[in-house]
Amino acid sequence: MKIASWNVNSLNVRLPHLQQWLESFAPAVVGLQETKLEDERFPDTALAELGYRSVFSGQKTYNGVAILSRSPATDVQIGIPGFVDEQQRVIAATVDGVRIINLYVVNGQDVGTDKYAYKLRWLEAVHAWIAAELQMHPDLVVMGDFNIAPDDRDVHDPEVWNDRHILTSTAERAALQRLLDLGLHDAFRLHHDDGGIFSWWDYRQAAFRRDMGLRIDLTLISDALRARCVAAGIDREPRTWDRPSDHTPAWVQLQPPTAY
């Protein structure tokens, strides 16, 4: 089964791209971020016509997350338990026995701002929650727009994207490392050692044409899923389409569980 994450930057605008991509890529599960849609406007009927069920948590203008799946999604959790937050950035569900956590991590604007402090607080809350989720669900995938590039291989220019810059700062990378230390693995890095493979390119300065990108869309898998993970990658193609999202899908492929 292929499991993917895609920040669509407005599902209203990107629905045709999503439909085309679901038909060609055929993931079993996809987590969406930045749907920017109130729940009443979520296009669940159009997606059902392609064979996908939807669970979602959205709001007007900003944020918004969803999980689409071919099999039913159960035990749906919206938001981080015990963390009061009006921003709709988190949805989790169990699909085909795999616990799926879909995150739209806070961007943080700039190091030292209030939004940066919120990002770090939010990541602390996510850390505590995921620690508990791992106890209950050994087969765990944490996917999403992390708004953190793990290391220098994941940025086009490490001089610009340095330890004092948003998305690459020391505290952000330390927060990501603390998540990994719970027993999670950056699935992409289990299958690729090379740098220069990105998932996001700024709309400005013709960044995509010049391949000035970052890899900030990640899929973390638990220790227990590691043996089942046979491939991982980033599908650049939707970024080449007309009027694209600034992000492109990141994915992993899991083998079925071994039967005894």
Binding residues: 7, 34, 145, 147, 246-247
Per-residue x/- mask for DNA, residues 241 to 260, rule CB under 7 A?
A: --x-----------------
192 catalytic per annotation: no
Q: What sign for the dihedral angle of Cα 99, 104, 107, 113?
A: negative
Name the residue with tokens 């970052």: 214
247 catalytic per annotation: yes
Using CB under 7 A as the binding rule, whether residue 9 contacts DNA is answered as yes
Angle between helices 170-180 and 114-136 (to 10 degrees): 10
End-to-end Cα separation, the chain, in angstroms: 20
Per-residue x/- mask for DNA, residues 68 to 107, rule CB under 7 A?
A: --------------------------------------xx
In angstroms, rounded to a whole number, what is the distance separating the alpha carbons of residues 4 and 206?
A: 26
In angstroms, rounded to a whole number, what is the distance separating the alpha carbons of residues 210 and 245?
A: 17
Residues numbered 209 to 238 that lie near DNA (CB under 7 A) are none
In angstroms, rounded to a whole number, what is the distance separating the alpha carbons of residues 205 and 221?
A: 34
In angstroms, rounded to a whole number, what is the distance separating the alpha carbons of residues 238 and 98?
A: 26
Binding site members for Mg(2+): 7, 34, 145, 147, 246-247
Span interacting with DNA, options 24-32, 71-79, 172-180, 200-208, rule CB under 7 A: 200-208
145 catalytic per annotation: yes
Q: How far is the CB of 217 from DNA (least distance, A)?
A: 11
Per-residue x/- mask for DNA, residues 28 to 67, rule CB under 7 A?
A: --------x-----------------------xxx-----
Q: Which amino acid, residue 167?
A: L
Using CB under 7 A as the binding rule, whether residue 240 contacts DNA is answered as no
Strand-pair partners of 30: 4, 68
Q: How far is the CB of 233 from DNA (least distance, A)?
A: 22
In angstroms, rounded to a whole number, what is the distance separating the alpha carbons of residues 227 and 185?
A: 12
Residue among 145, 154, 186, 217 flagged as catalytic:
145
Choice between 61 and 240, CB closer to DNA: 61
Buried b (16+ CB within 10 A) or exposed e, 215-227: bbbbbbbbeebee
* Residues noted as catalytic: 104, 145, 247
> What are the residues binding DNA (CB under 7 A)?
9-10, 12-13, 36, 60-62, 106-107, 109, 115, 203-205, 243
